[in-house]
Amino acid sequence: MVEQGLPLGTRLDGSACSVASARLHRRFGCPSNLDPHEQVLLALEWEGTIGEVRLNGRVMPCPVTNPPAGNCDPMARAVSGMIFDVTSLLDARNMLVVELIPAASRTEKSLLFDARLEIRG
């Protein structure tokens, strides 16, 4: 679900701009039958900057992979993929909110974004 109702590249006043963002929401349940040694990882992939990431209203800490040059500032998160350990953050029902900022070179009006849970153990 895209929270912002304007096409990418459009300001709130309707004028064109080079960068816009979208906030995506996704509800999901907690994986069942996890063994105590298993980890639940949230993997995000996007061809732009991933801004703020929230799970159940909490801002996510630095990712366990691909931290942007050691910088945990959400606005500095790099292109491609990031993985967060969410094992201890999951509830029975969960809400993921991710802010996406397209790469400056991106001209399409579509959002190609992948968010998935991975179980590792």
Q: Sketch the domain layout of the chain as residue ranges.
A: 22-120
Task: Give the SS3 label for residue 17.
Answer: coil
In the prediction, which pLDDT does 4 show? 42
CATH of domain 22-120: 2.60.120.260
Per-position b or e across 86-105, b if 16+ CB within 10 A of its CB: beeebeeebebbbbbbbeee
DSSP bridge pairs for 41:
85, 118
Per-residue confidence of the chain (121 residues) as pLDDT tens digits? 444 444 444 444 455 544 567 788 999 999 999 999 999 999 888 777 777 889 999 988 777 665 444 455 544 444 457 888 999 999 999 999 988 877 666 555 555 778 899 999 8
- DSSP of 19-31: ---EEEEEEEEPP
Sheet bearing 39-46, strands edge to edge:
80-85, 39-46, 113-120
In the prediction, which pLDDT does 106 show? 55
- CB proximity list for 75: less than 8 A, separation 6 or greater: 49, 51
DSSP bridge pairs for 94:
28
Tokens read off for 37: 């040694």
d(CA 84, CA 79): 15
In the prediction, which pLDDT does 6 show? 45
